């Protein structure tokens, strides 16, 4: 038993007695010890009493917990969040001026049972021998097992088990089921046993829930757990001892039978006689042992199913959260909008439509800022995998050791700082799509693991001894020339061939100038809505300058320019040339020199583009190779444009 005397705080001068196996301390009403001080968290700390130990654990409280022992202070935090209490210890909840102090006193546990008989688990007789001595119990046991096996969830199974005890043991008036608390977050704390359900014999013999609180004796089930045995106390007040909990519960006789799974005790069935003259006996113990041998499996399975259901629910919520966050980041909606009507973009979209519902790896090549991640998302959201996760990782953003853990996960304790097991992105994206941006930045030592994941669908977390199989669609992207990286020995050739099964080249913005007005209008609407400032649009001259500019940063640079324009413009006005960045206005004079006649946007843009082609050829003495290099296009691309304009 733990006594806590509050020496500082709103409850100063009061003494609290904690007798529960697990007792919460905090401001929330659900705690066994409620402290109303504002610096105390809702669920601040927990005390666990088990097998003579009293363990204090800080529950990641806001203001922290400190233990003072013989003038030495110890802050409970992180991996050192639990400590065994001793008499005389001072517990401080909070810090600075906001502190609640309590002095701990641990008293001897007088709830130690003096039992009449005990049957250890390794001494249990075969069920056939027990039933042979009492043939009438066979049908009752069979009917009880059928009801227990038909239970749909943990609560229903526990009710059927408790009712079966009352049906088999006619002199029992109360049945309590005690289960081991396996859900404590602190692995260093010994699991406690907690009463979870009590059923009573009602008038007429039927069983049901108690009408009010039922005092529970801890003496018997503690002895059952400690001795790994069934315990019988034929006359509880005399044979078990005049303990506080037994006397308070008015128990005449009691039986405690373990629930077990292999070598583990997972709970206790406790049957009490509280108000009838008949006493529980050894035959009752034998019957309950037979019942418990099968009920143990049902309870263990029901708890496992409950954990799996909760885990599945949590994963579904995490999945929905991640998908929602991804959709929000892309601007909302499950469809990826690709803006562009130019010939170059039509080819890209045609390529996408051919590959989306295949399993082949897609490699997206293009300069920085061309929208490679957008195309990768389109591969996912246009495919049958759209209901699963799309997960993206920039391979250049993490160091080698961190990147391996991020992609493949790690086991607890596999390296310094691995305090918990972690799932990798391959496992998180199982069934969906994993986008690996800047794939050429992956270290050579990690490329072999990527190759195995691509070929076999097999990953091995850091520190794991067995591989895991995943079904992940890989989309990779790079702004470098992979062939050159292979030739220079910076990229594995076998991984290169595995990645470049279906390459898609994303054209830079200067090769799809017809799309610039469409993309600029899209970003204008987005930032007007985001900032809450209506803008009339772009003036004709501003759009001409933007279309003539080469945009070395591609779509990303255009996006930033439009955002800057919206910030600068007055509400309701138009974006005019003087608001553009100086680097874009540099072409203003050239546009004038091109002698663009009034006409459609395409006609005017064709005139400007033709002028630039002629000017470049003139500057380089008709050297088409140098002209193409200056214009940022290939020689073949230059020939195509010269034929288009009849030059």
Distances (CA, A) of 101 to 9, 42, 549: 7, 17, 70
288-310 confidence digits (pLDDT tens)? 888 888 888 888 888 888 888 87
Nearest alpha-carbon partner for 294 in 133, 172, 135, 130:
130
| pLDDT confidence of residue 241 | 43
Residue 359 main-chain phi, psi, to 5 deg? -100, 5
What percent of the chain has pLDDT above 90? 33
84-133 confidence digits (pLDDT tens)? 999 999 999 998 888 999 999 887 544 444 455 666 766 666 555 555 66
342, pLDDT greater than 50: yes
Token pair recorded at residue 195: 């009463």
248, pLDDT greater than 50: no
Other beta carbons within 10 Å of 60: 16
Distances (CA, A) of 378 to 340, 362, 420, 559: 14, 12, 34, 19
68, pLDDT greater than 90: yes
Average pLDDT (430-457) is: 91
Angstrom distance (rounded) from CA 377 to CA 384: 13
Token pair recorded at residue 624: 């088409």
| pLDDT confidence of residue 136 | 64
Distances (CA, A) of 576 to 30, 544, 600: 64, 11, 19
Nearest alpha-carbon partner for 214 in 234, 196, 237, 193:
196
- Environment class of 112 (CB within 10 Å of its CB; exposed 0-12, middle 13-18, buried 19+): middle
Query: According to the 3-state scheme, what is the secondary structure of 504-523?
Result: EECCCHHHCHHHHHHHHHHH
**Angle in degrees, 0-180, between the axes of helices 372-381 and 282-330, rounded to the nearest 10:** 130
409, pLDDT greater than 60: yes
Residues contacting residue 374 through CB under 8 Å, at least 6 positions apart = 330, 336, 338
481-522 confidence digits (pLDDT tens)? 999 999 999 999 999 999 988 999 999 998 899 999 999 999
Angstrom distance (rounded) from CA 246 to CA 24: 24
| pLDDT confidence of residue 521 | 94
| pLDDT confidence of residue 322 | 66
| pLDDT confidence of residue 607 | 78
Query: Would the pTM of this model clear 0.85, i.e. be above it?
Result: no
362-365 vs 502-505, strand pairing mode: parallel
**Which of 205-219, 280-294, 595-609 is predicted most confidently?**
280-294
471, pLDDT greater than 60: yes
| pLDDT confidence of residue 188 | 43
334, pLDDT greater than 60: no
640, pLDDT greater than 90: no
Q: Which residues pair with 231 in a beta bridge?
A: 118, 256
Average pLDDT (235-243) is: 47
Average pLDDT (537-565) is: 92
| pLDDT confidence of residue 487 | 92
Nearest alpha-carbon partner for 133 in 21, 289, 308:
289
Angstrom distance (rounded) from CA 195 to CA 268: 9
Q: What is the DSSP letter of 123?
A: G
| pLDDT confidence of residue 328 | 57
End-to-end CA distance of the chain: 98
Where is average pLDDT lowest: 135-144, 389-398, 625-634?
Answer: 135-144
107 half-sphere exposure, CB direction, 13 A CA radius: 11
Average pLDDT (514-535) is: 92
């Amino acid at each position: 038993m733990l006594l806590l005397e509050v020496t500082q705080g709103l409850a100063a001068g009061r003494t609290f007695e904690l007798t529960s196996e697990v007792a919460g301390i905090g401001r929330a009403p659900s705690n066994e010890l409620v402290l109303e001080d504002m610096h105390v968290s809702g669920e601040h700390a927990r005390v666990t009493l088990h097998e003579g130990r009293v363990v204090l654990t800080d529950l990641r409280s806001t203001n922290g917990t400190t233990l003072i022992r013989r003038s030495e202070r110890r802050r409970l935090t992180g991996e050192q969040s639990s400590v065994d209490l001793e008499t005389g210890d001072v517990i401080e909840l909070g810090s600075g001026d906001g502190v609640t102090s309590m002095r701990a006193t641990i008293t001897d546990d007088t709830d130690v049972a003096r039992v009449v008989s005990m049957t250890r688990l390794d001494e249990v007789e075969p069920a056939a021998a027990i039933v042979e001595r009492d043939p009438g119990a066979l049908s009752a046991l069979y009917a009880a097992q059928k009801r227990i096996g038909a239970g749909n969830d943990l609560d229903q199974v526990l009710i059927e088990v408790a009712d079966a005890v009352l049906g088999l043991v006619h002199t029992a008036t109360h049945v309590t089921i005690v289960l081991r608390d396996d859900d404590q977050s602190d692995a260093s704390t010994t699991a406690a046993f907690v009463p979870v359900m009590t059923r009573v014999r009602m008038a007429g013999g039927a069983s049901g829930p108690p009408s009010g609180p039922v005092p529970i004796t801890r003496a018997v089930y503690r002895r059952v757990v400690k001795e790994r045995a069934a315990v019988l106390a034929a006359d509880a007040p005399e044979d078990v001892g005049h303990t506080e909990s037994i006397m308070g519960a008015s128990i005449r006789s009691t039986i405690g039978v373990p629930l077990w799974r292999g070598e583990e005790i997972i709970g206790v069935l406790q049957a009490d006689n509280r108000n009838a003259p008949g006493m529980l006996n050894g035959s009752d113990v034998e019957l309950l042992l037979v019942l418990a041998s099968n009920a143990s499996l049902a309870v263990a399975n029901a708890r496992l199913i409950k954990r799996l259901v909760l885990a599945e629910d949590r994963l579904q919520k995490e999945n929905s959260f991640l998908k929602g966050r991804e959709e929000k980041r892309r601007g909302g909606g499950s469809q990826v909008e690709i803006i562009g009507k130019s010939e170059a973009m039509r080819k890209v979209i045609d390529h996408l439509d051919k590959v989306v519902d295949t399993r082949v790896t897609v490699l997206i090549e293009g300069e920085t800022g061309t929208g490679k991640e957008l195309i990768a998302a389109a591969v996912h959201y246009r495919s049958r995998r759209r209901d699963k996760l799309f997960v993206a990782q920039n391979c250049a953003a993490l160091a080698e050791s961190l990147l391996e853990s991020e992609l493949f996960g790690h086991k607890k304790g596999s390296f310094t700082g691995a305090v918990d097991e972690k799932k990798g992105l391959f496992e998180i994206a199982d069934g969906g799509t994993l986008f690996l941006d800047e794939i050429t930045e992956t270290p050579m030592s990690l490329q072999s693991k990527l190759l195995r994941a691509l070929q076999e669908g097999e990953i091995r977390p850091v520190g794991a001894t067995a591989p895991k199989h995943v079904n992940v669609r890989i989309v990779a992207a790079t702004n470098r020339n992979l062939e050159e990286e292979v030739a220079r020995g910076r990229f594995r050739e076998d991984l290169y061939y595995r990645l470049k099964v279906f390459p898609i080249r994303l054209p830079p913005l200067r090769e799809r100038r017809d799309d610039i007005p469409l993309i600029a209008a899209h970003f204008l609407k987005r930032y007007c809505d985001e900032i809450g400032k209506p803008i009339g649009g772009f003036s004709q001259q501003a759009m001409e300058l933007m279309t003539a500019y080469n945009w070395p940063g591609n779509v990303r640079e255009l996006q930033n320019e439009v955002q800057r324009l919206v910030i600068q413009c007055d509400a309701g006005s138009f974006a005019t040339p003087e608001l553009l960045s100086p680097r874009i206005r540099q072409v203003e004079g050239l546009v004038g020199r091109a002698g663009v006649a009034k006409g459609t946007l395409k006609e005017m843009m064709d005139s400007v583009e033709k002028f630039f082609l002629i000017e470049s050829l003139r500057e380089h003495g008709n050297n088409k190779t140098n002209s193409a290099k200056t214009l940022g296009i290939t020689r073949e691309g230059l020939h195509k444009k010269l034929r288009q304009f009849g030059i």
